[in-house]
Amino acid sequence: MKGFPLLPLALFIFHALILVESGPANSNLFREYIGAEFKNVGFSDVPINSGVEFHYILSFAIDYTTSSSPSLTDGKFNVFWDTDNLSPDRVAAIKSEHSNVRVALSLGGDTVGDGEPANFDPSSPETWISNAVSSLTKIIQEYNLDGIDIDYEHFKTDPDTFAHCIGQLISTLKKNGVVSFASIAPYDDDEIQSHYMALWKSYGHLIDYVNFQFYAYDEGTTVAQFLRYFDEQSSNYGGGKVLPSFISDGSGGLAPDGGFFTACSRLKSEGKLYGIFVWCADDSKGLGFKYEKQSQSLLAISH
């Protein structure tokens, strides 16, 4: 280091520290999917802690017809959630009651109708993008929604086409001021990851949260395994806010009564708890939303 100027070195260290500090940090974000299972769950059923940022995610909007035999509509989305309990008026009411509540919609999901896979299958990318922007803008404005979540799990196209279509959709909705945040919901499967990581590579700067489905790992996942999975996915989605998650009934991954909150406390102590999300309110109702309360209590504590 002989003769190396101290001032440039000091500036380098300063800028490096700024870069570290500007990365993701602990957040009080709580997110919950709602409406997919038609179990008469309303927004007001779910306890809301005033100390968190709370996102409901309506499940799902799908580009299929709503007929008894659903067919693809090439980006013309329809509502498939429980509209009797989760109507535009109910959205307005819960947002009026709670200033910390935002509401998003999720695209795709696993199945449509009587169990048919909800495929991502555009006839042409530009047609799909145009139809999706138009139809989703209409739904989002009708319901006064704030964000969008991408949860396609079945694909009839290659990763690059998926990345282009979804990336352009998010970009256009954000640019037009239709949504203020976007998330994706991948899980650990080769086909799923190839599509979502292609999307992340090209459009990760537009994606605010990664709702990684950690509950898709094997039932009985341990705390140590969960933390290793979290680090793996944080590496896959580098720089992203990867959110830990659980499924209400504990049927997969690290169960909420089996160490999930221990793992989250560890992540929080390391400055890596960017939020928590839950699948789903429909199932949690029968459990009295006890794990929602516990999640929000943990998130609301600042340290």
The set of catalytic residues is 153
- Write the burial class of residue 237 (CB in 10 Å: 0-12 exposed, 13-18 middle, 19+ buried): buried
Sign, CA dihedral 201-203-209-214, equals negative
Amino acid letter at 177?
Answer: G
As a whole number of angstroms, the distance between CA 144 and CA 138 comes to: 10
**202 backbone dihedrals φ, ψ, rounded to 5°:** -95, -30
Helix (H, G, I), strand (E, B) or coil at 38: coil
C-alpha closest to that of 151 among 188, 110, 114: 110
Measured in residues, the chain has a length of 303
Helices (H), the chain: 6-21, 88-97, 125-143, 159-175, 190-203, 223-236, 260-269, 281-284, 290-300
**182 backbone dihedrals φ, ψ, rounded to 5°:** -145, 145
Query: Which residue in this structure is represented by tokens 């190839």?
Result: 194
Helix (H, G, I), strand (E, B) or coil at 92: helix
Q: Taking the CA of residue 10 as centre, how many other CA atoms within 13 Å lie in the half-sphere pointing to its CB? A: 3
Q: Are 163 and 175 in contact (CB under 8 A)?
A: no
Output the DSSP codes for 154-187.
Answer: EESS-HHHHHHHHHHHHHHHHHTTS-SEEEE---
